[in-house]
């Protein structure tokens, strides 16, 4: 059973074909009406075909049209307003609060599902033995790269974050201590990030990545892949808020697991780092 099929349709929207987008648009606009229709009926209303509709369902990892209707029914039964829609003109503040909380919670739940436990375990094994770790991201993902760099640095690991891709490329090519490059990109399509992954692989450096698309170029270049929810941003949220929060959530899962396995030493190192900072005041 899917957590919220309407939000999944919205999040996957850019990956649909032109015909599949017609189906998505109709379902998002008239979700309750879909429950009353057959495959043929919905195909006619969307000016597509039964085969396209079935393909649309498979893209969402559904078993077919009946499975789509079951998930839609469950989704509609748990929400009293159209919380899956984007912010509208002159919307009440309380509704905006509910919509944003609803979408963020959905993204967290999806990340919990997509973030593979074994991938986390493998990432931690490599982090434990790494002599030098580099982190990198562009835009909002840069905040996430800085966050994990700061966290691992306080745990005693040798970590470096830079927003200068040229300096990073040089370090990857020349630093014999470099063991991991942690690349973060929501889309997995940023050319700069992909090129850094290629440089790392040329120098036998493990590529650990975080992205929402398992089929992206970055994912294909990765040795270890940490998947997050695909939270496409509406027009009014151009700052990539959902993807940023989702990535930070995934980082917290990774680091909390690492800290849990090194609990006693982590307590001491965090205490030592706090004392060092306090001495500056």
Residue range(s) defining the domain that contains residue 15: 5-85
- CA torsion sign for 141, 146, 151, 156 is positive
Element (H, E) at 143: helix 140-154
Q: In the listed set 44, 66, 85, which residue is the last one of a domain according to the structure?
A: 85
Give the CATH number, domain containing residue 274. Answer: 3.40.50.10490
Give yes or no for residue 124 having a pLDDT over 50: yes
Domains held by the chain: number? 2
Alpha-carbon separation of residue 126 from 142, 185, 247 (angstroms): 22, 20, 20
pLDDT value of residue 92: 85
Give yes or no for residue 169 having a pLDDT over 50: yes
Give the CATH number, domain containing residue 60. Answer: 1.10.10.10
Query: Which of 57-73 are b and which e, b meaning 16 or more Cβ less than 10 Å from the residue's Cβ?
Result: beebebeebebbbbbbe
Per-residue pLDDT tens for 4-16? 788 788 878 888 9
Does residue 106 lie within any of the structural domains? Answer: no
| For residues 97-107, average pLDDT | 81
Same domain membership, residue 232 and residue 171: yes
Positions of E strands within 59-141: 132-137
Same domain membership, residue 149 and residue 237: yes
Confidence of residue 104 (pLDDT cuts 50, 70, 90): confident
Mean pLDDT of the chain, nearest integer: 89
Query: Which of 22-31, 135-144, 199-208 has the weakest average pLDDT?
Result: 22-31
Per-residue pLDDT tens for 234-246? 544 444 688 899 9
Does residue 40 lie within any of the structural domains? Answer: yes
Confidence of residue 103 (pLDDT cuts 50, 70, 90): confident
Six-digit token string for 117? 């436990």
Six-digit token string for 70? 């079951």
Same domain membership, residue 158 and residue 66: no
Global pTM value: 0.74
Same domain membership, residue 138 and residue 36: no
Same domain membership, residue 81 and residue 118: no
pLDDT value of residue 235: 46
- What is the residue-wise DSSP string for 206-222? EEEEEES-TTSHHHHH-
pLDDT value of residue 74: 84
Q: What is the rounded CA–CA span in Å between residue 106 and residue 4?
A: 7
| For residues 139-165, average pLDDT | 95
Same domain membership, residue 251 and residue 122: yes
Q: Residues near 28 by Cβ (< 8 Å), separated by ≥ 6?
A: 6, 9, 10, 84, 85
Same domain membership, residue 183 and residue 260: yes
Same domain membership, residue 155 and residue 118: yes
Q: What is the rounded CA–CA span in Å between residue 141 and residue 154?
A: 20
């Amino acid at each position: 059973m899917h957590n919220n099929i309407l939000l999944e349709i919205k999040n996957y929207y850019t990956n649909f074909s032109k015909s599949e987008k017609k189906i998505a648009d109709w379902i998002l606009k008239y979700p309750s009406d879909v429950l009353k229709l057959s495959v043929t009926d919905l195909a006619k209303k969307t000016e597509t075909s039964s085969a396209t509709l079935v393909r649309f369902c498979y893209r969402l990892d559904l078993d077919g049209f009946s499975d789509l209707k079951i998930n839609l029914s469950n989704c509609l039964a748990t929400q009293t307003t159209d919380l899956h829609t984007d912010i509208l003109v002159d919307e009440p503040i309380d509704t905006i609060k509910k919509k944003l909380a609803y979408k963020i919670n959905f993204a967290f739940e999806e990340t919990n599902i997509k973030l593979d436990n074994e991938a986390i375990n493998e990432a931690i094994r490599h982090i434990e033995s790494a002599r030098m770790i580099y982190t990198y991201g562009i835009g909002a993902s840069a905040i996430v790269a800085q966050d994990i760099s700061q966290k691992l640095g306080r745990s005693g690991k040798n970590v470096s974050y830079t927003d200068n891709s040229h300096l990073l490329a040089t370090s990857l090519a020349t630093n014999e201590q470099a063991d991991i490059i942690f690349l973060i990109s929501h889309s997995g399509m940023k050319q700069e990030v992909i090129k850094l992954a290629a440089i790392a692989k040329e120098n036998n450096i493990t590529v650990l990545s975080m992205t929402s698309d398992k089929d992206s170029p970055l994912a294909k270049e990765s040795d270890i892949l940490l998947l997050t929810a695909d939270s496409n941003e509406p027009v009014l949220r151009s700052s990539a808020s959902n993807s940023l929060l989702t990535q930070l959530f995934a980082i917290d899962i990774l680091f909390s697991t690492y800290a849990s396995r090194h609990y006693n030493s982590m307590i001491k190192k965090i205490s030592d780092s706090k004392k060092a900072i306090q001495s500056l005041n």
